[in-house]
Amino acid sequence: MDIQAYMHSVGRAARAASGVIATAPSEVKNHALKSIAEHLDGARRAVLAANQSDLNRARRQDLDSALIDRLELNDQRIDAMLEGLSQVIELDDPIGVMTNIGKQPSGIQLSKMRVPIGVVGIIYESRPNVTIDAASLCLKAGNACILRGGSESIQSNQAIAAGIELGLEAAGLPRATIQVVNTPDRAAVSELITLTEFVDVIIPRGGKGLIERINAEARVPVIKHLDGNCHIYIDDEADMDMAIALAINAKTHRYGVCNAMESLLVGAKIAPQLLPQLGDAMLSHEVQLRGCDKTCNLIEGAQAATESDWSTEYLGPILSIKVVDDLSAAIAHINQYGSRHTDAIVTDNPRRAQWFVNEVDSSSVMVNASTRFADGFEYGLGAEIGISTDKIHARGPVGLEGLTCQKWVVYGDGQVRK
Amino acid sequence: MDIQAYMHSVGRAARAASGVIATAPSEVKNHALKSIAEHLDGARRAVLAANQSDLNRARRQDLDSALIDRLELNDQRIDAMLEGLSQVIELDDPIGVMTNIGKQPSGIQLSKMRVPIGVVGIIYESRPNVTIDAASLCLKAGNACILRGGSESIQSNQAIAAGIELGLEAAGLPRATIQVVNTPDRAAVSELITLTEFVDVIIPRGGKGLIERINAEARVPVIKHLDGNCHIYIDDEADMDMAIALAINAKTHRYGVCNAMESLLVGAKIAPQLLPQLGDAMLSHEVQLRGCDKTCNLIEGAQAATESDWSTEYLGPILSIKVVDDLSAAIAHINQYGSRHTDAIVTDNPRRAQWFVNEVDSSSVMVNASTRFADGFEYGLGAEIGISTDKIHARGPVGLEGLTCQKWVVYGDGQVRK
């Protein structure tokens, strides 16, 4: 079968399965999640063996070590996948929840019902644990899903898919409720993102280049995350110790994550006192500093930033620093150079905090907290399928509710439109 | 200036204006709406003269009469535009509304704030009244907008745009808050839908062909309405009089609208009694009937339907009718042939009603009410920018709230991620 025919058959099967899973009771969905966990646990050896051959191939091809680290499975990581499944079982089922809007002048009774989106396509890197995370959230939200992991993880994903199928069958759900694309051919992605008849939304995860390419080619709506050029602005009225602690946490807690701070703005009045201390603290963490002229005068060891630094997501131990005249200048800088992901202010002045919250156009806006909190678990969503930097449908961390929509429900007793 | 440069300058100006309008107080936005109404009222003669030259050109080009009807303005239609502005002034401002989510285990205080989307691009037919409707809703929701009406209405729209500009200036808002594209060149549309840097969402209104083309070419996310193949299913346990009254209203109240019934399904047990009466009623309204075999046996004057009838949106005095075995068959038919717009059941059996509501995957699902109620005004939204048949962001009638999104707001007192 050629790729196009294969992806059409996958899409058609997903659409059919979505009609079943959409109205499956919570107990059935939870039973399926539990069965998937049991079958995955039982298939550990097969999964690890498949992963070993993915790893061997990746090493032979000299792929970079970060990719190989994300690709690798071990007993601990499989335990974490099982733990993730248990957590999704514990989450409240969002489906079927009614919001009463009330009787309208015509006499009709209006409400909204939360329902699944339908068929979700997820395209992600060679991280086999995402297969289980994404599958479990889609299932719990009543969606059928089509999962397409990176080509380097093909054998690991097929082994995981076998466990998923057995789990679905044990719960009496169609196998096509969760499908893992079985070919590493990239043409499968091109097909998936144009299957408007069968797929309702695409969620790509991965590098910015990949996501931009998918967005450019997709005909199916896309919920996407581009970059995370997150800022902290230290206001002139900030508590200095708190400001330094937050900046260190936001920059150094983890470097490769989208909610790490990449750029620090400092009020002109507090800068002379703050920056030398903050500079020492950053340099002791071996963070390379790239600053404006004023910053370079205040921090020995900072090098001059170029214009492109202000819009760069380093994803590493590098930080750009700029001294700004005031709060307005900070807000203007963030709205110009930021990526609308997560930005924070450190201040003891509540009016300034509120101004910042109102004016900064980002999916998460924070006061006196580390940008690292922009995360589905930290926000109590239980898990996240991704973080959206788009403005429609879902913004910021996307959990179960982001995988649903609402339909209007009207009850009448014979009303006609006049 | 070429089209590309022109549209870039429009986009850049809209993005800049969106930063101002996003945080403008309700009073300022309402003042602007009031000023726009005053300036539009004062410019009646100019608007009607411009419209006259659009109409003359359209008649010279022998454009079809429905298009000319939609294009035509008169004092009544301008009054309706002014009335629409007053209604939008009365609507509650959705922006800034906070939803408290509560303290998380880390100690951060989490909430969501309703905020504008940013810049909205609206592409519509040659209906100059839409210019005011769309502009007023976008403004009230805190968005900048770029409006591109059909090329036949170019002069009418430019005259209306002049009134809008004066109104915005009187309220101290940037003129670029509402921009009306000043060229009939279709290349402007191609530019607008790919301006990802400056435009956050595109809402196309018009025929299915146009919307499909826009969706295929767009790089900016699209909220769209394809077709309205709406069904009524008359259950075996329906009240016959109510069923006939609802079917007549849904089919004949207005023919050219997306929430008109296009296809009628009838339970096999009630059909022999119901269909002859219903057929008479429809034929007395000069509705052409296209039925399945059973229908044709029961209604004299019905002609045989072909497979394509089941998925056709007639937008005229034609109705397809099919006798179905039971409720499950009705649901399966609707989910297969329908367009996920609006579908209704007529039944006295609450369990069957609930089953239908749960299983039918449409933006509006109704019990014992006419499909014609699927409408922003009837749903209490005050006005609608359109009806979405998409599943993400907004589904069904899209009002002010559909032109907004929510951002996460975090208040801490120095929390760092552990």
CB of B257 within 8 Å of any CB in chain A? no
Quickly tell me which residue has 């679905």 as its tokens. A168
Share of chain B above pLDDT 70, in %: 100
Q: Which residues of B touch A361 (CB under 8 A)?
A: 19, 22, 115, 118, 407
Quickly tell me which residue has 């409240």 as its tokens. A92
Residues 343-372 of A with CB under 8 A from B: 344, 353, 357-359, 361-370, 372
Please determine, for residue A1, whether its predicted confidence score (pLDDT) is greater than 80: no
ipTM of the complex: 0.93
pLDDT tens column, B80-108: 999 999 999 999 999 999 999 999 999 99
Pairing of strands A109-116, A404-415: antiparallel
Q: Which residues of B touch A343 (CB under 8 A)?
A: none
- Report the residue of chain A nearest B410, measured CA to CA: A366
Q: Which residues of A touch B397 (CB under 8 A)?
A: 408
Please, what is the Cα angle at B329 between B349 and B238, to 5 degrees?
A: 25
User: B1 falls in which pLDDT band (50, 70, 90)?
Assistant: confident
Identify which of A316, A315, A281, A271 has the alpha carbon closest to the alpha carbon of residue A301. A281
pLDDT of residue A192: 98
Strand segments, DSSP code E, in A254-358 are: 261-267, 288-291, 303-304, 318-324, 342-346
What is the Cα–Cα distance from B16 to A387, expressed in whole angstroms?
26
Is B416 within 8 Å of A335 when comparing Cβ atoms? no
Quickly tell me which residue has 């068929």 as its tokens. A119
CA distance to partner chain A, nearest, from residue B60 (Å)? 37
Strand segments, DSSP code E, in B118-218 are: 119-123, 144-148, 178-180, 201-204
- Please check whether residue B217 is in contact with residue B179, taking contact to mean a CB–CB distance below 8 angstroms: no
Please determine, for residue B226, whether its predicted confidence score (pLDDT) is greater than 90: no
- Please check whether residue A91 is in contact with residue A136, taking contact to mean a CB–CB distance below 8 angstroms: no
Please determine, for residue B14, whether its predicted confidence score (pLDDT) is greater than 90: yes
Pairing of strands B119-123, B201-204: parallel
Crossing angle (nearest 10°) for helices A44-60 and A75-90: 120
Q: Among A48-52, A273-277, A389-393, name the one with the lowest average pLDDT.
A: A389-393
What is the Cα–Cα distance from B59 to B71, expressed in whole angstroms?
11
pLDDT of residue A5: 96
Residues 196-255 of A with CB under 8 A from B: 200-201, 215-216, 219, 221-223, 239, 242, 245-246, 249, 253
Please determine, for residue A214, whether its predicted confidence score (pLDDT) is greater than 90: yes
- Report the residue of chain B nearest A219, measured CA to CA: B216
Mean pLDDT over residues B228-255, rounded? 97
What is the Cα–Cα distance from A159 to A157, expressed in whole angstroms?
5
pLDDT tens column, B35-89: 999 999 999 999 999 999 999 999 999 998 889 999 999 999 999 999 999 999 9
Residue B118 CB contacts under 8 Å (≥ 6 apart), including other chains: A361, A391, B15, B18, B22, B143, B144, B200
pLDDT of residue B206: 84
Share of chain B above pLDDT 90, in %: 92
pLDDT tens column, B246-296: 999 999 999 989 999 999 999 999 999 999 999 999 999 999 999 999 999
- Which residue of B234, B373, B395 to mutate against A (max A Cβ within 10 Å)? B373
Query: What count of other Cβ atoms lies within 10 Å of the Cβ of residue A323?
Result: 23
What tokens were used for B205? 């209104």
Q: Which residues of A touch B380 (CB under 8 A)?
A: 101, 104, 110
Q: Which residues of B touch A19 (CB under 8 A)?
A: 335, 361
User: B210 falls in which pLDDT band (50, 70, 90)?
Assistant: confident
Residues 43-82 of A with CB under 8 A from B: none
CB of A391 within 8 Å of any CB in chain B? yes
Q: B346-349 long-range contacts, Cβ below 8 Å, gap at least 24?
A: B346/B232, B346/B233, B346/B234, B346/B235, B346/B238, B346/B239, B346/B242, B346/B243, B346/B246, B346/B247, B347/B235, B347/B237, B347/B238, B348/B237, B348/B238, B348/B239, B349/B235, B349/B237
Is A414 within 8 Å of B246 when comparing Cβ atoms? yes
Identify which of A156, A352, A336 has the alpha carbon closest to the alpha carbon of residue A231. A336
Is A365 within 8 Å of B104 when comparing Cβ atoms? no
CB of B336 within 8 Å of any CB in chain A? no
CB of B412 within 8 Å of any CB in chain A? yes
Phi-psi region of A380 (alpha: psi -120 to 50; beta: other; left: phi over 0): left
Q: Where are the alpha helices (DSSP H) in A91-127?
A: none
pLDDT of residue A108: 98
- Which residue of B222, B234, B405 to mutate against A (max A Cβ within 10 Å)? B405
pLDDT of residue A203: 95
pLDDT of residue A227: 86
Q: What is the side-by-side order of every strand in the sheet holding B342-346?
A: A98-103, A109-116, A404-415, B364-369, B342-346, B230-234, B261-267, B318-324, B288-291, B303-304
What tokens were used for B71? 């294009």
Pairing of strands A396-398, A201-204: unpaired
What is the Cα–Cα distance from A28 to A144, expressed in whole angstroms?
14
Identify which of A111, A35, A141, A36 has the alpha carbon closest to the alpha carbon of residue A381. A141
pLDDT of residue B322: 98
The DSSP line for B115-139 is: EE-SEEEEE--S-HHHHHHHHHHHH
pLDDT of residue B261: 98
pLDDT tens column, A44-63: 999 999 999 999 999 999 99
What is the Cα–Cα distance from B358 to A117, expressed in whole angstroms?
14
Mean pLDDT over residues A298-325, rounded? 97
Please determine, for residue A133, whether its predicted confidence score (pLDDT) is greater than 80: yes
pLDDT tens column, A157-198: 999 999 999 999 999 999 999 999 999 999 999 999 999 999
What is the Cα–Cα distance from B161 to B131, expressed in whole angstroms?
8
Please determine, for residue A239, whether its predicted confidence score (pLDDT) is greater than 80: yes
Q: How far apart are the first and last CA of chain B?
A: 55
Is A106 within 8 Å of B396 when comparing Cβ atoms? no
User: B384 falls in which pLDDT band (50, 70, 90)?
Assistant: confident
Please determine, for residue A208, whether its predicted confidence score (pLDDT) is greater than 90: no
Please, what is the Cα angle at B159 between B154 and B162, to 5 degrees?
A: 125
pLDDT of residue B7: 98
Please determine, for residue A386, whether its predicted confidence score (pLDDT) is greater than 90: no
What type of residue sits at position B321? I
Is B108 within 8 Å of A373 when comparing Cβ atoms? yes
| pTM of this structure | 0.93
Element (H, E) at A100: strand A98-103
What does DSSP assign to residue A306? P
